Amino acid sequence: PTSGPSESTAVFVDPATLEVRGVLPVYGTSGVLPLRTWLDSLHRNMLLGDVGRNYSELAASWLWVAALGGLLLWATSRSPRRTNGRGWQILRQRYWHSSLGLVLLLGLLFFSATGLTWSRWAGDNISALRAHFGWMTPAVNTSLLPDNPSPMDEHAGHHMAPSPRHNMAGMTMPKAAAVAIKPTQFDGVVQAASAAGIQAGKIEIRPTTKANKAWIVSEIDRRWPTKVDTVAVDPATFRVTDKVTFAQYGLLAKLTRWGVDAHMGVLFGLANQLLLAAFGLGLCVLIVLGYRLWWLRRPAAQGSHPAETLVYHWRQLGLSARFLLLVCTVTLAVSLPVMGISLLVLLLIDALRWQRAQG
């Protein structure tokens, strides 16, 4: 059957009777079943395709800004000594909002950073930066002829769909002769990989029908301690032609691997998943408290207060502060395009509010 991006077909076989018990589409390297695939799509793109994926990237782009901005407000704010009834209510809401925000701060920054590596536009920029500095994850060389290995994507089989800009359609490539895959080859390839040190309880075998290409056998046990060693095996001679171990990963590649797995809730098993659930619940409460605080602090009479817009505060800055802020803003807008576009929309609305307040 035809499978979508990062999808494959799983056949469930009784190992004792060899009876096929079921066939289901599964998602990713870990082979999650349809219900979890649906939940994953809900988290990744709200079941709206690319539009929803852009919305998800928008949230990840601004999450770290909101977290650090809240920290700055908490550090620079001072509680009034005397308050009336409404002021005490605001003070209490601010206390709970800021306290919960401090508890969740590291998690907010972590999920923003790891989420952006999955995103479409910012993720491409992050990958380009890593490739430029040689921070990509090493990959085995599958060519049985002299060739250079290519970097491997930590998100392979997870949340990454093919990027349109990487589409190779229309390019003329030499066609390699196809070779038949024999079932007996799997046993030989697995034995060769096992002898080379592939000992994890979960492995993935990626055969190929292309001549002069090796099969890939990878450990896919993402729990701590991480087991993701990979070997390339010649399916004709069962000779291991290349090997990459997790110990060979650079520091940034290891941190990326651990970050991705922790984000997915697999690095530390059930404890990881319970922590994610608690964080998600805490984040929902934090958002509700934030909106509640905003509502309590709204001006009683809008017309009696100046519109403290971004334009208003921009005009209060000195020349050097304006220049520094402009450089940082442009850099972030280019690096995080969805943030940049949303910021332009926000500035347009803000300028209209400021103009209306002046008139």
**What is the tens place of the pLDDT at every residue in 172-214?**
445 556 788 999 999 999 999 999 999 999 999 999 989 899 9
Helix or strand run (H / E) with residue 333: helix 319-335
> Residue 313 pLDDT > 60, yes or no?
yes
Q: Is 129 exposed, middle or buried (0-12, 13-18, 19+ CB in 10 A)?
A: exposed
**What is the tens place of the pLDDT at every residue in 105-129?**
999 999 999 999 989 999 999 999 9
**What is the tens place of the pLDDT at every residue in 265-285?**
999 999 999 999 999 999 999
pLDDT at residue 300, as a whole number = 62
CA–CA dist 116, 131 (Å, integer): 16
pLDDT at residue 114, as a whole number = 95
- DSSP state for residue 302 in the 8-state scheme: G
**What is the tens place of the pLDDT at every residue in 288-298?**
999 999 988 87
Residue at token pair 């601010």: 94
Q: What is the mean pLDDT of residues 244-256?
A: 94
pLDDT at residue 311, as a whole number = 80
Q: Are 139 and 149 in contact (CB under 8 A)?
A: yes
**What residues does each domain of the chain span?**
48-135+258-298, 146-159+176-249, 306-359
The rounded mean pLDDT for the chain is 87
What is residue 87's three-state secondary structure? helix
Closest CA to 292 of 102, 111, 100, 105: 100
CA–CA dist 41, 32 (Å, integer): 12
Residue at token pair 């590649």: 253
CA–CA dist 13, 48 (Å, integer): 34
Tell which CATH classification among 2.60.40, 3.30.2290, 3.10.450, 1.20.1410 matches the domain 146-159+176-249: 3.10.450
- On the CB side of 307, how many CA atoms lie within 13 Å of its CA? 14
